Amino acid sequence: MIKAYRFGLSVEDDADDSDVSLLDDDDPDGLSITTNTSLQVADEDNDLTNFTIIDIQHNTHNFDDDDDKSSSALRLSCFAHTLQLSIRDGLKKASHVPKVLAKCQALAKFSHKSTKIADMLDQLNKHINKSNVTRWNSEYLLIKSILSLGKIDADAITSLMDNLVKFSNNDFIILEEIVIILDPFYEISIKCQAEAVVTASLVVPSVLHLINHLRDIKRDVKFCSRLVQQSQSSLEKRFCSIMDRLNQADVIDDEHYGDPLYFMAAVLDPAFKFFWVRDLQLSVQMENRLKQHIIQLIVDEMNKEPILSSGHFDRISPARTSAGSTSTPKAKRRKLFDYDDVNSADLNESNALDPVVELDAYLNDPVRLPFSDYWHRSQLSILKRLITRIFSVQASSAPIERVFSHVGLILTPKRINMNEQMLRDRAFLRVNQNLL
């Protein structure tokens, strides 16, 4: 058994994506991988921060009041970890990749010890990334950094090594193919580990995109066809419940990725809705059946929500919040070019409290805004409560792993005598240091 986030071609033991347990002792950050700022989304979900821990399937009881039923709470797998295992499966069984990757690792290891290579890299304004066994994308970034050198500069640098490593033309072709194959995996793994954005809606569209990506590039690769084949096979195996639901087969909800939450989240994210269904290339009849199935799942969840009274509806409507505050309210002037209240006025109170009408209004809304902006302005009261409940689930455990990692860094021998309040304050400041 290997540790959950240990990765590398030298690891021979098989890993089960159900064992997302401990972080590597040598890498307390776990999945807090090197990020690309261009991939970080700035859509902060300010409205969805104060969540309570609830059972997604059964919201009729509170865990604090019903401890003996807490065992029925669902455990959802970490999407980032499962992606990592799928990539590992593909790289382990790829015929040409291990030898070329070993050359890259040897060059990276020596380049960080040699002052001559460091000086040459400075002159070229280049760098070579380090390889980290706990982060698969460190090897991806290592390959990209060597590719950026070009064969001529790479040969000049490797000539300074004690144990000469030679990159052939075919080696560079293999490296280029690896980057093309793994690029969507890298981008998705960065996005799904974001802390201040919703990520549950990424799972289904991402899996579908990756499988289509691997199918499309099969004919374009020369040396890494086995990597493509094994990665696709691993994806279909590890996300078999998602594939079964896409094929409209029977799925057990408590299987890995069998929970309908992933499909509901994808549809309820304004960035996706049903746009991702096009990648399935289904017939019109089969596509409509799939859409109706997901719509029915959402309506069933909305019907579980308690019906709000008209008084509560008045309180949540921004257009009415100022009413009743004074006996002689001031006339509210409309802002220049402000059309936000036009559509909300058309949705009267009786229709807004109908789950089917609310969902239909959402699906037919042509406006495509970032998630937080869209739902902050929305007047769909029942659907908004479902949104709060569903999107409290994150696709990856990486953000909370980073919290425990920061706390672990705080608990050093020099600080072991601090009191509980000081520990809480330091953990809070460490996790939120970017806000300072």
For 176, counting Cβ atoms within 10 Å of its Cβ (0-12 exposed, 13-18 middle, 19+ buried), the class is: middle
154, 177, 393 from 183: Cα distances, Å = 22, 10, 26
Separation of alpha carbons 357 and 375, rounded Å? 16
55, 187, 240, 241 from 251: Cα distances, Å = 19, 29, 9, 6
115, 266, 358, 395 from 262: Cα distances, Å = 50, 6, 20, 9
Residue 325 has what pLDDT? 41
For 109, counting Cβ atoms within 10 Å of its Cβ (0-12 exposed, 13-18 middle, 19+ buried), the class is: middle
pLDDT at 44 over 80: no
* Sign of the torsion formed by the C-alpha atoms of 19, 24, 29 and 35: negative
349 — phi, psi (to 5°)?
-65, -40
Mean pLDDT within 169-198: 88
**What is 86-130 written as a DSSP string?**
HHHHHHHT-SSHHHHHHHHHHHHHHHTT-HHHHHHHHHHT---PP
Domain boundary assignment for the chain: 77-196, 397-436
Mean pLDDT within 301-323: 53
Residue 407 has what pLDDT? 62
Percent of the chain with pLDDT strictly greater than 90: 23
pLDDT at 271 over 70: yes
Question: Could you read off the pLDDT of 3-15 as tens digits, one per residue?
Answer: 444 444 443 444 4
Task: Give the pair of three-digit tokens for residue 291.
Answer: 């859409």
pLDDT at 58 over 50: no
pLDDT at 301 over 80: yes
Q: Return the SS3 of 11.
A: coil
Residue partners of 338: CB distance under 8 A and separation at least 6? none
74 — phi, psi (to 5°)?
-80, 150
Residue 342 has what pLDDT? 45
- Per-residue pLDDT band for 73 (boundaries 50, 70, 90) equals low
Nearest one of 183, 184, 154 to 167, comparing CA atoms: 154
Separation of alpha carbons 93 and 376, rounded Å? 47
Question: Could you read off the pLDDT of 343-394 as tens digits, one per residue?
Answer: 444 444 444 468 899 999 999 988 888 888 899 888 888 889 999 888 888 8
Task: Give the pair of three-digit tokens for residue 302.
Answer: 């909305």
pLDDT at 277 over 80: yes
Residue 404 has what pLDDT? 67
Residue 314 has what pLDDT? 45
